[in-house]
């Protein structure tokens, strides 16, 4: 049965102080310098393009009916930047802004359905997609000396703060989208939308203490997101306004699955490898009771997927330090785009390569 997660016994204020101390230790480390694009990463990026990027700059989700998402566009911008592929970056950005930009702000519609009468039928945004688009633009502006990119990334970051940050009880939270996630008694959150390695770039572009509050409270909430036998973070959770408790929503499968696998990726990427949630996820991935590393776990009854995780997820497991008793979860530290069964697995593999850099 569902095990609700309750606020930390030391209280939200002390929990936030602990999270702030963790973030401060990371922030005080020497900033990473941009690394030259490796031949391997460039080759992987061009393999990704050949499989999933259309000539006009649209990234195709081959495992989901050929749709496109702002998430995929943001990741592709990061890949092109890392590969030092300016023409590719410009094509991806051009399609993203031309097709997905919402009227009235600088955010982007979350989905494009190519065969629909109205391809962008839902103007709502996806916050992780906008974070990654802004992050890519800000880093591209600095690396390539492109003030227009910096200005656009700053405008998106400003709208993220303005439209997507809310106070819910004792916490500053990141809404998954501009509408549809605020309830009368709580707010729906997606733990995987906290793209921790991006927050530094956003905060430098739009200096505001709200970034620190959101990041710190995001860590606090992740420490409390413990469901099921392994104490895993869910794809989606409801944060109660009254007491700060976390429960599983009724309108999404109650799983640690395709969204939540990005939680350990972003924590490890940001240098937050000591966070307790990483240890809990590792314990799930290496549990000898499981015949293989499962693609998902049901957090209400501890049932696991009848099929193994994709190569992209096993690459995240290696990044997070997971080793199964019978050997590594995969033969390579990174997944290869050529081995990926679909867009999502390939994208996760490239994200892991970026995190390792």
Q: Are the CB atoms for 295 and 313 separated by under 8 Å? A: yes
Which among 128, 130, 217, 235 is annotated as catalytic?
128
What is the C-alpha radius of gyration for the chain, rounded to an integer number of angstroms? 19
Q: What is the pLDDT of residue 301?
A: 98
Q: 316-354 burial string, b = 16+ CB within 10 Å, else e?
A: bbbbbebebeeeebbeeebbbbebbebbbbbbbbbbbbb
Average pLDDT by consecutive 10-residue portion of the chain (357 residues)?
55 64 52 66 97 98 97 98 98 98 97 97 97 98 98 98 96 97 96 98 97 96 97 98 95 97 97 95 96 97 98 96 58 75 98 94
Q: What is the distance between the alpha carbons of residues 126 and 138, in angstroms, rounded to a whole number?
A: 19
Provide φ and ψ at 286, rounded to 5°.
-105, 5
DSSP 8-state code for residue 297: E
Place of tokens 């649209």: 58
- Between the alpha carbon of residue 66 and those of residues 113, 190, 262, 302, 345, the distances in Å are 7, 24, 22, 32, 15
Cβ proximity of 166 and 217 under 8 Å: no
CA 356 to chain centre: 16
| Burial label, 42 (beta-carbon count in 10 A; 0-12, 13-18, 19+) | middle
Yes or no: say if 235 and 258 are a contact pair by the CB < 8 Å rule.
yes
Closest by CA to 108, choosing from 79, 133, 141, is: 133
Tell me the C-alpha distance between 313 and 40, whole Å. Answer: 20
Cα angle 166-202-67, degrees, rounded to a multiple of 5: 80
Q: Which residues have CB under 8 Å from 158's CB, separation 6+?
A: 106, 206
- Extract the tokens encoding 65: 């009916």
> Is 275 an active-site residue?
no
Confidence (pLDDT) at 327: 47
Catalytic residue selected from 71, 130, 139, 217: 71
The DSSP H or E segment spanning 68 is strand 68-69
pLDDT the model gives residue 325: 55
Domains with residue ranges and CATH for the chain: 11-356 (1.50.10.10)
* Alpha carbon of residue 263 to chain centroid: 7
Instruction: Give residue for tokens 């996820």.
Output: 281
Contact 59, 76 (CB under 8 A): yes
Residues 6 or more apart in contact with residue 246 via CB below 8 angstroms: 4, 5, 6, 221, 224, 225, 237, 238, 239, 240
Q: Is 128 a catalytic residue?
A: yes
pLDDT given for residue 29 in this prediction: 44
């Amino acid at each position: 049965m569902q095990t609700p997660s309750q606020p930390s016994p030391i209280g939200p204020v002390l929990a936030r102080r602990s999270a702030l101390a963790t973030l401060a230790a990371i922030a005080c480390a020497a900033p990473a310098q941009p690394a030259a694009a490796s031949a391997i990463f460039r080759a992987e990026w061009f393999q990704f393009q050949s499989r999933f990027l259309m000539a006009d700059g649209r990234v195709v989700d081959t495992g989901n009916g050929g749709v496109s998402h702002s998430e995929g566009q943001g990741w592709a911008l990061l890949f092109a930047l890392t590969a030092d592929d300016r023409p590719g970056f410009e094509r991806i950005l051009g399609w993203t802004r031309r097709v997905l930009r919402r009227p009235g702000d600088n955010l982007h519609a979350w989905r494009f359905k190519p065969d629909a009468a109205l391809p962008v039928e839902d103007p709502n945004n996806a916050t992780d997609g906008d974070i990654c688009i802004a992050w890519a633009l800000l880093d591209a502006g600095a690396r390539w000396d492109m003030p227009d990119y910096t200005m656009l990334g700053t405008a998106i970051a400003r709208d993220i703060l303005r439209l997507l940050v809310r106070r819910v009880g004792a916490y500053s939270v990141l809404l998954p989208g501009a509408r549809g996630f605020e309830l009368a008694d709580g707010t729906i959150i997606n733990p995987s939308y906290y793209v921790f390695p991006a927050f530094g770039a956003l905060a430098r572009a739009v200096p505001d203490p709200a970034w620190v509050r959101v990041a710190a409270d995001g860590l606090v909430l992740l420490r409390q997101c413990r469901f099921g036998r392994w104490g895993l973070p869910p794809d989606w959770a409801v944060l109660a306004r009254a007491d700060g408790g976390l429960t599983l929503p009724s309108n999404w499968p109650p799983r640690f699955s395709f969204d939540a696998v990005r939680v350990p990726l972003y924590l490890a990427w940001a240098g937050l490898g000591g966070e307790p949630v990483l240890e809990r996820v590792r314990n799930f991935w290496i549990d000898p009771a499981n015949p293989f590393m499962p693609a998902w776990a049901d957090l209400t009854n501890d049932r696991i997927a009848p099929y193994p995780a994709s190569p992209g997820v096993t690459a995240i497991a290696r990044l997070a330090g997971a080793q199964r008793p019978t050997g590594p979860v995969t033969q390579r530290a990174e997944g290869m785009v050529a081995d990926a069964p679909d867009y999502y697995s390939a994208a996760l593999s490239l994200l892991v390569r970026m995190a390792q850099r």
